[in-house]
Amino acid sequence: MDTRHSSRPLRTLGAALAAAALLLSGCSADAPAPRAAALSKKAVPAALKPYYEQTLSWRLCGGADFECATLKAPLDYTRPGTGRDVRLAVSRKKATGPGRRLGSLLVNPGGPGGSAVGYLQSFAAVGYPTRVRAHYDMVAMDPRGVAESEPVTCLSDKQMDAFTQTDQTPDGRGETDRLVAAYKKFADGCASRSGRILGHVSTVEAARDMDVLRAALGDRKLHYVGASYGTFLGATYADLYPHRVGRLVLDGALDPTLSSRRINRDQTAGFETAFTAFAKDCVRRTGCPLGTGSVATARDRLGAFFARLDSHPVGTGGPRALGESLATMGVISAMYDETAWPQLRTALRSAMSGHGGGLLNLADLYYERDTDGSYANLMYANPAVNCLDLPPAFRTPAEVRKSVPAFEKASPVFGKALAWAALNCAYWPVRPTGTPHPLRAKGADPIVVVGTTRDPATPYPWARGLASQLSSATLLTYDGDGHTAYGRGSGCIDNAINTYLLTGRPPAAHTRCH
């Protein structure tokens, strides 16, 4: 499941080919880690005490006032103390004052696969409100397999370029076989390059790492803000350790009871909702590349444009052409944040005139491809986590073909591509260790779940679902567009969350913001 924050951290569980190769591994599957609240009241097992009692060695890093350290955790929590450990990157910026320090505030931007350390150092440590930063040490940890924490790798950059250009809307057996071959090559690459870590990047293991970090920081309880996939990580922590929950904000929530197929289909509908909002705005404007008629006409124009690119890609001013797959991801990329709509209008106008560079840039932004041609680790960590957390959405191409009509009903524009994107976990080299199940966190302090009504990547019903499961949750609703709500311009949302973080008082039930 790809779930990015407003900076673009959660994407789609199978948002498209590479996102599929990401979302929401050769190692043998281990027994699932213990699932729930029983862990919270037990004393720390003797074999885990060295991890819980470790002292972090801080050093200056990442610019003014940042510190970094390395946290050690067992590679396999069912076999701690064997010397097989993972080293996890941690960063913090101490509370600025004045006033009483409230503890550490751990942040995670989503993904799975988004770098929390990078997010902290580039945004959270300055973008969070001054009054929050005054009272909290801002802290981030890259989860296992992500960014600086033993990152999963799968392909060379050139191989990744080829992968992202694979036709994700196969029309016949030949194209289907090539798509399946691409998924298998991706999975085999992950196994050969990252076999040691691949079977140990589940969300449960990452949540257990968070508790080790809490102890190493000297905090009695965990305070946390998680966006997108980060909500699943935070809710998993709460279910494992309810009595260690402090103030938890879960923004752009996932519903943990849903299957992979349902998640993919819901996200497909979410992107259609976002496209409808974009199209309504576009057709009112002079020069809209999708015309000045109705939303239906705009949808038809975009679909016809994608169909042309399927057989006749356009140039981009560089060695890569813009075909249907990359164009689809370029459009989806702009659905995460309405501030990207002007860029999308310009990119579509140029691409429809035969110049695809702008739309390619949007696709590269989604895939986290740098201008030097290198890819960030997110595209590898994402499927590594998602394929371990849940059974695959589809197991065969035949299953996908049967489901394409349902996906196209959810989104006539994106449905076929996103259905085929959900096939990636069928070929994953590590069997899943998790299944859909409710998260209760019985006994936890108040938790705030935030949902945005027209969120494309984490549809609003998911927030309702998670809030109804967590025993102490309050649902805070943002009636708006884009992915996630906190820090996106709603004073109502920001004030409610800031008050909760500073006082522990959640917003009133049924609070709805605009």
The DSSP secondary structure of 53-77, one letter per residue, reads T-----EE-SSTTEEEEEEEEES-T
The pLDDT assigned to 42 comes to: 60
| pTM (predicted TM-score) | 0.92
Domains and CATH numbers, the chain: 3-151+199-259+435-513 (3.40.50.1820), 267-367 (no CATH)
Q: How far apart are CA 232 and CA 390, in angstroms?
A: 13
Q: In the annotation, is 156 catalytic?
A: no
199-245 tens-digit pLDDT:
999 999 999 999 999 999 999 999 999 999 999 999 999 999 999 99
**What's the half-sphere exposure (Cβ side, CA atoms, 13 Å) at 368?**
24
152-172 tens-digit pLDDT:
999 999 999 999 999 999 999
40, 228, 260, 411: which is the annotated catalytic residue? 228
434-458 tens-digit pLDDT:
999 999 999 999 999 999 999 999 9
Q: How far apart are CA 78 and CA 56, in angstroms?
A: 24
Q: In the annotation, is 228 catalytic?
A: yes
365-408 tens-digit pLDDT:
999 999 999 999 999 999 999 999 999 999 999 999 999 999 99
pLDDT tier at 81, thresholds 50, 70, 90: confident
At 430, is the secondary structure helix, strand, or coil?
coil
5, 135, 223, 483: which is the annotated catalytic residue? 483
137, 211, 364, 455: which is the annotated catalytic residue? 455
Looking at the predicted structure, is the pLDDT value of residue 19 above 80? no
Average pLDDT value for the chain: 92
Looking at the predicted structure, is the pLDDT value of residue 283 above 60? yes
Q: How many CB atoms lie within 10 A of CB 14?
A: 36
Contact 443, 471 (CB under 8 A): yes
Q: In the annotation, is 483 catalytic?
A: yes
Q: How far apart are CA 102 and CA 134, in angstroms?
A: 9
Between 1 and 180, name the one with better pLDDT: 180
Give percent of the chain with pLDDT exceeding 90.
89
